[in-house]
Chains A and B, each alone.
Chain A
Amino acid sequence: METHETLTDRVQHVLADALRVPREEIGPTTEFGDLPQWDSMGHMEVMVSLEKAFQVEITAETITELVSIPAICAHLEARDGA
């Protein structure tokens, strides 16, 4: 089972790629709106990238809930029964 730290790191990498920003700009608590790139369009890029990397289903609920690194990690851990 993947540790919380490893999962957080993977999510940070996925977001950095999705938002086209250096990895070090994405912290473990970064959330929607913290970076100019993480706006509405950026958020939907994040959603598409999470869908590809973690098979997250994009729904109205996930769009509104997965708005921070901790929320994304919590969602993935709950889904995977961690």
Chain B
Amino acid sequence: MAHKLEIRPAVVIPGHLIGQVRAKLAYVDERISGAEIHLDGTLVTLSLRQAVEADGLSVIEQRVQHVVNEMARGAIQPKVEVLEDFSGRPVYYQQDPMQELLARGEVHEEETGMFILGPLVTRLVDFFESRFLMLADEFEAKPYRFPTLISARMLDRVDYFSAFPHSLTFATHLREDLEIINRFAAETEYVDDGLNAPSEFFSRIQALLSPAVCYHLYFSLADHPLPDGKLIATAVGNCFRYESTNLTSLERLWDFTMREVIFVGPKDFVLENRERSRLFMQKIFEEIGLVYHVETANDPFFVGEFRKQAAFQTAFQLKYEIRAALPFKGSTLAVGSYNYHQNFFGRHLNITLPDGEPIHTGCTAFGLERMVYAFLAQFGFDQAKWPAVVREWK
């Protein structure tokens, strides 16, 4: 029997926030397995994993009201600007590619949000990587390799924990204690939905799994003047963002791959190169025939910082998202973004230009699995119908 809880929020949720509030409701309570918000923003319907007593329902409702209040009260209507619109291109496929990918064994879900990719998907990932590397070559970007782990100390320096606490993934290890290690080896089993080892067995958190690629570059530059005052770099890496019940198909992975081209230097240098990269990618997407548009957007800040940070980011056009069409559901998926961080990292990490001013940064970033998913959602599996540039790529 399905367990539902209907809540009428004290603050009506504006249409432009429905998707972002719905995504945050996954983090309200572990008993929530799904959330829907009526289009008029006046009704929240939660799916619960089990029957919940009245006291528990009251707690859940209070938390939902808090989230809605924090995000929607006095919400500033963003002025969304569309920079490119190629949503009118022909579409060749109308199905959700996920079912076909699973049936063909092209993807296998090891655990929620963790996917093994087969040869066809891997080939498409490699194709898109080749295009993003063309972008990197256009800028003669210096290649870097970054670790999968990222320093907790450095993330704290850039206020990451207050902005995105909900999606963090922590790395730990057993404490250096022979008794603990022996007890772990002898007693630990996977029970129900996790290991049964007590939390005191584990070390304090010194590292996390990286939520982004470019942070590593900024951390490597911290507390020094930037040599030459300018740097363009590129790297690909695994990124980790825990998205709870929002983890579905290749659209939203816990562990995904991101290619970035990163710009560091004076303001004009960063902004000009962000724009150059957008125009370069426009030609790449045209060659593929991708159905997409580019618009101003905001990052998924957590509840406490959402209203102000999101409004600031959108107003100053700090983030442009590349949103590819998913014809089977009549919606779009963000497959990449063009970002400008102003001098945020320069100030927080004490990275300076030759004149002593803090450096500005920006990056162009692509989610490789999402890119492939959107491509298959638009072009399907009949390779004869694929664009020649993809079909003939070796």
Chain A residues in the interface with B (C-beta under 8 A): 33, 36, 39-41, 43-45, 48, 58-61, 63-64
Does A39 lie within 8 Å of B309, measured CB to CB? no
Bound state CA distance, A43 and B309, in angstroms?
10
Does B344 lie within 8 Å of A64, measured CB to CB? no
Closest Cβ neighbor of A67 among chain B residues = B316
Nearest-neighbour CB distance to chain B for A51, whole angstroms, equals: 9
The main secondary structure of chain B at its interface with chain A is: helix
Which A residues are CB-close (under 8 A) to B343?
33
Whether A36 touches B309, Cβ cut-off 8 Å, given contacts A59-B76, A60-B314, is no
Nearest-neighbour CB distance to chain A for B23, whole angstroms, equals: 21
Closest Cβ neighbor of B79 among chain A residues = A60
Closest Cβ neighbor of A64 among chain B residues = B315
Which B residues are CB-close (under 8 A) to A39?
344, 347
Bound state CA distance, A40 and B315, in angstroms?
11
Does A63 lie within 8 Å of B347, measured CB to CB? no
Most buried by A among B312, B344, B347: B312
Which B residues are CB-close (under 8 A) to A45?
308
10 further A-B contacts with Cβ under 8 Å, apart from A39-B344, A41-B309, A44-B312, are A36-B347, A40-B309, A44-B309, A48-B308, A58-B76, A58-B311, A60-B76, A60-B77, A60-B314, A63-B311
Q: Is B249 an interface residue (CB 8 A)?
A: no
Bound state CA distance, A31 and B240, in angstroms?
37
Pairs of residues from A and B, 5 with the lowest C-beta to C-beta distance, nearest first = A44-B308, A63-B315, A60-B79, A60-B315, A40-B312
Which B residues are CB-close (under 8 A) to A59?
76-77, 79
Contact with A along B78-98 (1 / 0, CB 8 A): 110000000000000000000
Does B313 lie within 8 Å of A63, measured CB to CB? no
Closest Cβ neighbor of A48 among chain B residues = B308
Q: Is B138 an interface residue (CB 8 A)?
A: no
Does B76 lie within 8 Å of A63, measured CB to CB? yes
Does A60 lie within 8 Å of B78, measured CB to CB? yes
Closest Cβ neighbor of A57 among chain B residues = B76
Which B residues are CB-close (under 8 A) to A63?
76, 311-312, 315-316
Which A residues are CB-close (under 8 A) to B76?
58-60, 63
Q: Is B305 an interface residue (CB 8 A)?
A: yes
Interface set, chain B 289-331, CB cutoff 8 A to A? 305, 307-309, 311-316
Contact with A along B58-83 (1 / 0, CB 8 A): 00000000000000000011110000
Does A40 lie within 8 Å of B314, measured CB to CB? no
Bound state CA distance, A43 and B315, in angstroms?
12
Bound state CA distance, A33 and B267, in angstroms?
13
Which A residues are CB-close (under 8 A) to B311?
44, 58, 60, 63
Contact with A along B8-36 (1 / 0, CB 8 A): 00000000000000000000000000000
